[in-house]
Chains A and B, each alone.
Chain A
């Protein structure tokens, strides 16, 4: 009743939020992309993609240090001027929202295929999105609590399921280890960089902590943990199905969970357990994502509060969610965003920081 909404974040919350945002975004289908670039050694692709991301994270935190208390959206106005900043940020927000909606559509298709074959997509998408909106409406405090609550059990179960798949790996399908060229590695890194797009949200939440160095360490830890999860996941997928066998499946991670057959366990199939646990993480990630976009919009147009922005974004997001006809359409559009997103989500903070450095704007330490 009388305790106001808090928006400060402990540095340790960065670990939880960033990890959830990355893992809750695309954990199930990325092996398809990794084997296309690096074949048997596809498990290196997420690792290679994470290396340039470190520079992006450092740039984002450096930008926050130069402009303390300002989010990325607010920094842009100070660096490149108000009007260009509004235009670029608005495009970025729209781009990000559409991208997020398409990713959500991919997940909804997954749910439809695996769990609810006959139920119309609009029905359970609406239910899911209402929940996401509800959480986003209550702000970062509630989102961080939800994510913190679900993070440990969900991560443990996911890792247990991955480990349960180890006996089915044929190690020969993962060999030879370094059978690729540097060009292949760079291509792989580029094609897998979309996994780390959710880091753009750092741009918006970093002013919420006063302990920047600590927050940076925890963000790096989140990145490292995500890379570990992707590594294990790709090793399992490639080791079990092989590079050609993977292409049969739309969501290979889920399929390798399906092959786990443990006698005497209470459930006949484990794959759906992985899916349900991952959906919980996705719920938190989507709410964080949604709130971030709403906050960015409210910072761009100060007359709108983030709560109002959550409501404003609802209908357009819902429409984009229901636009594609099927998974092929969804993946087609997603590919476009995944390619151009590198410029938008990684280029934007990097370029802003470079301009700030060159023009000596902000506080120089």
Chain B
């Protein structure tokens, strides 16, 4: 067949396909409602069939771009929220899609908020939608809210940003210390794996300062919220769980003094001592730099440095042991001790009744604290 005929045949085959098509997936961005946060609360009347109250925060795109130079005035609210009652999150999203003028777009979800009280009842089925919608970012961050998610999503941020983006940015920039970011995929993975319990940071709206604050960590026992750890405990969890701690560390010293450390890097190793999972040794190596003494002492001698390191190690050990006791009491294996046991003993280790065994396990802690920089510096 000649080349021209081939080309004609090919065009004849391809062209109608295009002409008959309707660009099914095409929808301009201006016609999409990109919701950036979704909050799942329990309905006010729990007896109702529609037991969930789902709220989404949708940016108002007409107010997104800054006003032209010289316009002066603020543009108006940057977002609006829609709340519905439904049996499931999927149903709620369908209902919200019917209410908005554009097409609800799942591709830019940054935050998934779960109300604390509701989370105590279990969240596995509520989070099923996270992994079923391919366009939904798997790294959307989960947060537990003390107030209702609906209330939180209706508050504004002091910065000229969408509140959900503001909170997300805070989590991404820090992701350490008090502000641990937990992605949705991580949470769901821990639900699927035996013996692994997730944790989620806690978000609160401070009405006095009009700011969003990350205060603490919610520890889960499987998919049920077991308890909340405070901000101080959160820092030590982050050290034990191989995270950075940019928020620093304050070590109380005798005589009412205090040493403040920054750039605290911790690496921990969980060493199971037996295959039953009843005894663990956790070694924690901490490196930090002094940022302040609250007494005038620009230069430390070698002996003073060593004493300070010992005092810091002791303090960290005490605090960590308290935290470990707290999470054991909750029977929430957020540090994945069970996984460490399985990693060492394989099939010889059994996850049966693991949470009970975990609550009774003896956990020894060894802390090695090293001060990287002790000199006064500017």
Contact = CB atoms under 8 A, between A and B. Distances in A.
A289 to B, nearest CB: 21
B24 A245 contact: no
Given A244-B193, A245-B193, A247-B192, A259 B342 contact: no
A173 B194 contact: no
17 contacts: A40-B346, A116-B25, A130-B10, A130-B13, A134-B10, A172-B342, A175-B344, A179-B347, A242-B196, A244-B192, A247-B192, A255-B131, A259-B138, A259-B185, A261-B137, A261-B183, A268-B107
Contact of B343 (A175, A255, A263, A268): A175
Interface string B338-367: 011011111100000000000000000000
Nearest to A119: B24
A268 B108 CA distance: 8
B193 A176 contact: no
Contacts of B108: 268
Nearest to A258: B138
The 10 closest A-B pairs by CB, nearest first: A175-B343, A179-B346, A118-B24, A261-B139, A172-B343, A245-B189, A245-B192, A176-B346, A242-B193, A119-B24
A113 B132 CA distance: 10
Given A119-B25, A123-B21, A130-B14, 19 more contacts: A115-B25, A119-B21, A119-B24, A134-B10, A170-B336, A171-B343, A173-B343, A175-B343, A175-B344, A241-B189, A243-B193, A244-B193, A244-B194, A248-B188, A255-B131, A255-B138, A258-B138, A259-B183, A269-B137
A312 interface: no
Tell me the interface secondary structure of chain B in the complex. helix
A48 B17 CA distance: 45
Interface in A102-119: 113-119
Contacts of A248: 131, 188, 192
A172 B336 CA distance: 9
B192 A123 contact: no
Nearest to B172: A263
Contacts of A40: 342, 346
Interface string A223-257: 00000000000000000111111011100000100
Given A242-B189, A245-B189, A176 B343 contact: yes
B298 interface: no
Task: Pick the most buried of B131, B185, B196, B340: most chain A CB atoms within 10 A of its CB.
Answer: B185
Nearest to A120: B24
Contacts of A244: 192-194
A210 B10 CA distance: 36
A179 B345 CA distance: 9
Given A179-B347, A263-B172, A114 B189 contact: no
A127 interface: yes
A172 B339 contact: yes
Nearest to B185: A259
B192 A170 contact: no
A259 B10 contact: no
B240 to A, nearest CB: 14
Interface of A: 40, 113-120, 123, 126-127, 130, 134, 170-173, 175-176, 179, 240-245, 247-249, 255, 258-261, 263, 268-269
Contacts of B343: 171-173, 175-176
Contacts of B340: 172
A218 B251 CA distance: 62
Nearest to B140: A261
A110 to B, nearest CB: 10
A49 to B, nearest CB: 22
Contacts of B24: 116, 118-120
A247 B339 CA distance: 18
B13 to A, nearest CB: 6
B134 interface: yes
A283 B238 CA distance: 45
Interface string B241-268: 0000000000000000000000000000
A118 B188 contact: no
A321 B59 CA distance: 42
A323 to B, nearest CB: 20
B334 to A, nearest CB: 13
Contacts of A269: 137
A244 B24 CA distance: 36
A337 B189 CA distance: 31
B100 to A, nearest CB: 18
Given A113-B134, A134-B10, A242-B192, A126 B339 contact: no
B339 A173 contact: yes
Interface in B17-47: 17, 21, 24-25
